A = this chain, B = another copy of it.
Amino acid sequence: MILHYLYILGITVEAITGALKAGTKKMDLFGVIIIACATAIGGGNIRDILLGNYPISWVGHPEYIVITTCAALITILAAPCLKYFHRVFLILDALGLVTFTIIGVRMTLALGHGFIVASIMGVITGVSGGVIRDVLCRDIPLVFQKEVYAGVSIVSAWLFLLLHARGLSDTCAILITLGTGFSLRLVAIYCKLEIPKFNYTQIQ
């Protein structure tokens, strides 16, 4: 299944971004591993907990934790080289974002929930790993501020649901959503596309 391989790629990339972020906060070895795992696996955890869908993914598949731990360790060793691959990570991260979103939507539909719940669970699966990472590193979650990040996840979720409702085959719907969401994110990155921000100053 293509989604499975993309999922493994996705958690690996997310683990690397988590480890690098932990590095900018000068965390120690174990801190880096924990942040990396939380970034990679955390989004799916929150979805499973909200749905009461037990056992949650990595409890049933501990190998996911092994993969993200290894990714964190390799990141620490290879950090000096990684700086030159910044763009590659942005691209892989975009792929991960759309993959996670689709997985979240499909799993929620499979549990018998409706479209609104499915779209929300897709977005939660896609973006909340990054939110956990930023909260643990004491930053305002990037995904709420920068470029069309949560936006790509929301569009992907609804596009997949629309194609699904239209009766397209699962593989077709997945590939079209992957292509569209991924392109949208790349366009957003390269054109520095931003959604209008809401800037509010409180009168004291």
Residues of A within 8 A of B (CB): 19-20, 22-32, 34-35, 45, 49-52, 54-56, 58-59, 62, 65-66, 76, 79, 83, 86, 113-114, 116-117, 120, 123, 127, 131, 135-141, 143-146, 148-151, 154, 194-203
Contacts and interface: CB of A to CB of B under 8 A. Distances in A.
Contacts of A203: 83, 86
Nearest to A123: B34
A152 B103 CA distance: 36
Contacts of A28: 144-146, 148, 150-151, 194-198
A136 B83 CA distance: 28
15 contacts: A25-B145, A26-B145, A28-B196, A29-B196, A30-B149, A30-B150, A30-B151, A49-B50, A51-B54, A52-B52, A62-B120, A79-B200, A83-B202, A86-B202, A86-B203
A165 to B, nearest CB: 16
A29 B139 contact: no
Contacts of A131: 136
A196 B146 CA distance: 32
A109 to B, nearest CB: 13
Contacts of A198: 19, 22-23, 26-29, 32, 76, 79
Contact of A120 (B65, B136, B146, B154): B65
Contact of A140 (B50, B127, B138): B138
B30 A62 contact: no
A203 to B, nearest CB: 5
A76 B23 CA distance: 36
A63 to B, nearest CB: 8
A117 B45 CA distance: 14
Most buried by B among A120, A123, A201: A120
Nearest to A127: B34
Contact of A27 (B20, B56, B144, B154): B144
